[in-house]
Amino acid sequence: MKIKPLNDRILVRRLEGEQKTAGGIIIPDTAKEKPQQGEVVAAGPGRMGDDGKRTAPEVKVGDRVLFSKYSGTEIKVDGVEHLFMKEDDILGILG
């Protein structure tokens, strides 16, 4: 399935969290926190300004981003968990 975000929406695929602690203890799935990092899969054309001009998003496909814990709307695309979020929900780009 192919999804094209509209306006300033971004589609992000969560990156997998750590499987073990620093001490080597394996974390069960039920105790894991959802990761707050992801990869941009698709980005909309940008926000429409008051002057009628569109502002392009700062993130692009392939960027690794950091986002807040409860941001976005979770969806499944081809069995993989993704998040739909506004560009404002992204805290930063990981380099």
Number of domains observed in the structure of the chain: 1
State the residue range of the domain holding 78: 9-16+29-94
Is 75:84 a contact under the CB 8 Å cutoff?
A: yes
Q: Is residue 86 part of a domain?
A: yes
Q: Is residue 2 part of a domain?
A: no
Contacts of 57 (CB under 8 A, 6+ apart): 8, 10, 43, 44, 46, 47, 87
- Tell which phi-psi region holds residue 53, choosing left (phi > 0), alpha (psi between -120 and 50) or beta: beta
What does pTM read for this prediction? 0.77
Walk along the chain (95 residues) and give the pLDDT tens digit of each residue.
Answer: 688 889 899 999 988 755 655 666 766 656 556 668 999 999 999 998 899 899 999 999 999 999 988 888 999 888 888 999 999 999 999 97
Q: Is residue 24 part of a domain?
A: no
Q: What is the CATH number of the domain that holds 37?
A: 2.30.33.40
DSSP-assigned states of every residue in 6-71: -TTEEEEEEPP--SB-TTSPBPPGGGPPPPSEEEEEEE-S-EEPTTSPEEPPS--TT-EEEE-TT-
Q: Is residue 22 part of a domain?
A: no
